[in-house]
Amino acid sequence: MKIGFIGDIVGKPGRMMLESHLKKLKMQYALDIVIANGENASHGFGLNTENAKELLKCGVDMLTGGNHSWDKKEIIPLLDTLPILRPLNYPEGVPGRGLGILHVKGTDIAVINVMGHFSMPMVDNPFIAVQKAVKGLQEQGISTIVIDFHAEATSEKRALHMMLKGQVSAIFGTHTHVGTDDLLIENGTCYVSDVGLSGCRDNVIGMAKEAPLKRFLTGLPASLDIPKKCRKILQMVICEIEDGHCLEAQKIRVFDDKDEVLTQQALRE
């Protein structure tokens, strides 16, 4: 079983990269499923109906969310009908779900979306929520479990890995938009603190540089915007999983202005 996970898709540039490259990448790397974080896919804030269907058509099998899951209210009714997750640890009664099951080649693949505490909206304890979800899946006999941990602090992400290594197949960090170089496999669990964005790579976390610079230079508020022109990137981690254990993993980076695809192999601990 080969799974591809794409980090935060930021606006039209990110969607364009998936439209241009994802189907070819699925064939090239023989991917069985692709999971992608889509909470920034609609002009950087949230996910609307049109863009959700666009990403699914491009070859994404499951979309995950985060703190911007609610920005586009039109998507809320679709959380129950399309393969779109929102963080698991929102309180009971909130629309949508934080855990989804994909059925591929006779195997059940569980995808959990969870959000951290530091510098994020008020949610329930992510560690307790995930621990309970993983136990429930194991009791059902589901061993292939993939987690999108949408969190600001690398310490939270690393701690979740320490708690769950050997119990889940992969933990992919999202939210910061900056890819980290700590891809590893430990006790059969693939881990990376942040996969990194898919979108503009030559501004500030996928956004035009003017507003962030104004904020940092003056302290005054400024609205973030997606650049009209930029150099783009697609970032994805590919895992080979057997009986719930990750055997191999690699990070790939695709650029819109280069023919080469840069790869990084996972370090085995």
Q: Looking at the annotation, which residues are catalytic?
A: 68
Exposed, middle or buried: residue 112 (CB in 10 Å: 0-12, 13-18, 19+)?
Answer: buried
Exposed, middle or buried: residue 15 (CB in 10 Å: 0-12, 13-18, 19+)?
Answer: buried
**Residues 257 and 239: beta-carbon distance below 8 Å:** no
Cα angle, residue 226 at apex, residues 152 and 53 outer, rounded to 5°: 85
Closest CA to 84 of 74, 71, 99: 99
Q: Is the dihedral of CA 114, 118, 119, 122 positive or negative?
A: positive
Exposed, middle or buried: residue 225 (CB in 10 Å: 0-12, 13-18, 19+)?
Answer: middle
> Would you state the structure tokens that stand for residue 56, as one six-digit string?
């699914």
Which residues does 189 contact at the CB level (< 8 Å), separation at least 6? 161, 164, 165, 166, 167, 168, 169, 170, 171, 245, 246
DSSP type of residue 233: E
